A and B are shown apart, each in its own frame.
Chain A
Amino acid sequence: MDEMMNAIVFFWFPLSLIPLGAWFSLSSKTNLRTNFGRFAAVLGFILVCISPWTVPTSPSSSIGHLLGFIIGPSSLLLIGIYLLIFSGNVPVGKLPSSDRKLGTFCMALGSLWFCLMQWGEFTPIYDGREVNRFWLIFFPTFILMICCLSSVLSISMLIIGEERQTESMVMRMVSIVSIILIICGLTIDGKNISSETFTTYFWLSVSDLFGILVGVSLSIFIFGFVIYVYERSIGEPNSVPPPTPEELSQASQKIAANIGGAESE
């Protein structure tokens, strides 16, 4: 097989299995098909992660390499958030309060791991030669999005919520910490990534973020427009005739038999 065919079979096909499997499992009503969809998505994910070994010559396989590197800290952050949410005042599925400390520890460890990947020895180096270029895209976009979104959530809690100053302050702190991390990236050289490289990729990620926002908004607008045009073309639904006296009497009998009930003890 030539290089392109290899990339299609061992990278792009498994990558397409992930959304297809997820879509299949969400849209199916039977257990067998739902499980098949999940299996396909997991299989696709594993094959993408091992793509640096199956198609080492393809530049696309550095996405698999990146996935392998970020799966650890990302899982820690997600587990940490889960523990923090459900160890608080939730009506269902409450975890013991001691899990809050574990959650905080997981969050701190996950964040530290990401920082070490940027400034320390844990940087994803592809093929033993150079920094994985997709890491240079992932980290600035990730931290920029956290920074902007936590700022939005902080303000939205003040606008929408009532007496949510403390929670708004927490989100503001998240935004400030991410701003500090970005400033550190722009000024401090890491072991493998210089501040100049980070600066270049950071400003490109700002353009990227706005591009994605515009592109996604445009596609949602087109989707809404297509549905609107179709719904307008089908016209008013046929109205049903009013109920007959017999139907009304039958309905009132049913209602009378089902309302009321015993006194609560």
Chain B
Amino acid sequence: MSELKQTLNVKVLFIAFLLPIFIIWIIDSSLKGDFSSFDTNDSFTRFANATLTSYTLGSLILLGNLFFYADSRKRPLAPLIGMILAVLIGIAATLFLIGMGPMLLENNGSVRAQTVYNLGHTIVSFLAISLAMVLCVGSMFAALTNGKKRKMFDEEE
């Protein structure tokens, strides 16, 4: 497959991901008669909190994954320190940005309350995303295996 076609395919898949959201937005706006169903301030706050928390949690999971990598590389310390640093930067950035003021606080009174809420929120979102992924990929396989049986190769005579 040529590089141009591959890039084009990725773009088409990205549009396919966004398309349902646009359709819902258009239908919702048409039914309610305005385009302001969502609050941009709240949406930005949620986006920023989700980015910071998922980056930190993702780095933590990948730090655990380094142990599998280390098994095949005589247990080097350099990548381990690199990932620990990445996790610490994530934690520090989260605490610093939440502590800056009301920008990232979502109806929570303190930095600690917001951090704990972010953790819980991200865990629940991860759970929902994982379940949806299993169901979608499972549905795809169910559609593939329940179709008519295909002949892969011509039988030898």
- Are these two chains actual partners, yes or no? yes
**What is the interface of chain A, defined by CB distance below 8 A to chain B?**
15, 19, 23, 27, 59-60, 63, 66, 74, 77-78, 81-82, 84-90, 100, 103, 134, 137-139, 141-157, 159, 164, 166-167, 170-171, 174-175, 178-179, 182-183, 186-187, 199-200, 203-212, 214-216, 218-220, 222-223, 226-227, 229-230, 233
Q: State whether the Cβ of B96 lies closer than 8 Å to any Cβ in chain A.
A: no
Report how far A211 CA is from B31 CA in the complex, Å. Answer: 27
Report how far A27 CA is from B75 CA in the complex, Å. Answer: 14
User: What are the 9 tightest A-B residue pairs by CB atom distance, in nearest-first order?
Assistant: A211-B50, A88-B145, A215-B54, A219-B58, A203-B38, A81-B138, A145-B132, A226-B82, A215-B55
CB-CB under 8 A for A226 and B76, given A66-B124, A137-B125, A179-B20: no
Mostly, the A contact residues are helix
Q: Are A141 and B129 in contact (CB under 8 A)?
A: yes
Nearest CB of A to B50, in Å: 3
CB-based nearest B residue for A204: B46
Report how far A19 CA is from B65 CA in the complex, Å. Answer: 12
Q: Choose one: B67, B121, B139, B147; the contact of A171 (CB below 8 Å).
A: B139
Q: Are A148 and B9 in contact (CB under 8 A)?
A: no
Q: What B residues does A207 contact at CB under 8 A?
A: 38, 42-44, 46-47, 50
CB-based nearest A residue for B71: A27
Nearest CB of A to B39, in Å: 8
Q: State whether the Cβ of B61 lies closer than 8 Å to any Cβ in chain A.
A: yes
Report how far A81 CA is from B137 CA in the complex, Å. Answer: 10
Interface size on B, residues (CB 8 A): 78
Q: Which chain B residues in 1-44 approach chain A with CB under 8 Å?
A: 9, 12-13, 16-21, 23-24, 27-28, 31, 37-39, 42-44
Mostly, the B contact residues are helix
Q: Are B17 and A211 in contact (CB under 8 A)?
A: no
CB-CB under 8 A for A138 and B124, given A151-B19, A219-B62: yes
Can you report 12 A-B residue pairs in the complex whose CB atoms are below 8 A from each other?
A27-B68, A66-B124, A89-B145, A143-B132, A156-B16, A171-B136, A179-B23, A183-B28, A183-B31, A203-B39, A207-B42, A215-B53
Q: Choose one: B116, B128, B145; the contact of A85 (CB below 8 Å).
A: B145
Nearest CB of A to B139, in Å: 6
Q: Are A142 and B132 in contact (CB under 8 A)?
A: yes
Nearest CB of B to A111, in Å: 10
Q: What A residues does B95 contact at CB under 8 A?
A: none
Q: Are B62 and A218 in contact (CB under 8 A)?
A: no
Report how far A207 CA is from B52 CA in the complex, Å. Answer: 13
Chain B 113-147 per-residue mask, 1 if CB under 8 angstroms from chain A, else 0: 00011001111111111011111111111111111
Q: Are A145 and B128 in contact (CB under 8 A)?
A: yes
Q: State whether the Cβ of B100 lies closer than 8 Å to any Cβ in chain A.
A: no
Q: Are A152 and B58 in contact (CB under 8 A)?
A: no
Q: Are B78 and A211 in contact (CB under 8 A)?
A: no
Q: What A residues does B86 contact at CB under 8 A?
A: 219, 222-223, 226
Q: Are B122 and A212 in contact (CB under 8 A)?
A: yes
Report how far A109 CA is from B59 CA in the complex, Å. Answer: 37
Q: Are A81 and B55 in contact (CB under 8 A)?
A: no
Report how far A219 CA is from B49 CA in the complex, Å. Answer: 15
Q: Choose one: A78, A167, A199, A205; the contact of B144 (CB below 8 Å).
A: A167
Q: Are B24 and A212 in contact (CB under 8 A)?
A: no
Nearest CB of B to A114, in Å: 10
